[in-house]
Amino acid sequence: MNRQFSIRLTEAIEAMGVNPTQFARKAGIPQGTISKCLSGHVPTARILLRISTFTGKSVDWLLTGTGQGKAGVGYVAERAARYGRAGGSRKASANEEVLVAKLLKVLRGSSRRKQQMIKDLLDVLSR
């Protein structure tokens, strides 16, 4: 339990002018997780980075109170490392990029029938 972390998180949320429930919704963090953090629990690194990015406060400041309150020194803004095949160095061919772009266009489009058809097809092919 880290009471100081919860105090700094409360300050950061109040500085944004929102309540904890609104903060959780806007940051895309489960409300129960924010509630635990406000009770003194330190979140996982992934959640901590999301809080840091969303509030604009550095991870160092959130955890220890040192460093700059604003993102800067101690601020980490890089994506998590990917392991296994997902992070492989294989380059997608131009043809694959075109196909992915077409799939995304259909999935992001307004035709629910087409979206469902693509999802069903992908389910069948991935078996």
Q: Is residue 94, in this structure, part of any structural domain at all?
A: yes
Q: Is residue 84, in this structure, part of any structural domain at all?
A: no
pLDDT at 77: 47
How many domains does the chain fold into? 2
Q: Is residue 108, in this structure, part of any structural domain at all?
A: yes
Phi-psi group of 82: left, alpha or beta (phi > 0 → left; psi -120 to 50 → alpha; rest → beta): beta
Residue 121 domain boundaries: 90-125
Q: Is residue 39, in this structure, part of any structural domain at all?
A: yes
More confident residue, 91 or 24: 24
Distance (Å) of CA 30 to CA 20, 21, 62, 72, 82? 11, 9, 19, 26, 23
Amino acid, single-letter form, for residue 68:
Q
Most distant CA pair in the chain: distance in Å? 54
Instruction: Clarify whether residues 43 and 8 are in a common domain.
Output: yes
Q: Is residue 71, in this structure, part of any structural domain at all?
A: no
Q: Kindly report the pTM of this predicted structure.
A: 0.53
Return d(Cα 42, Cα 47) in angstroms, integer: 9
Instruction: Clarify whether residues 56 and 10 are in a common domain.
Output: yes
pLDDT at 63: 86
Q: Is residue 79, in this structure, part of any structural domain at all?
A: no
Are 98 and 71 within 8 A, CB to CB?
A: no
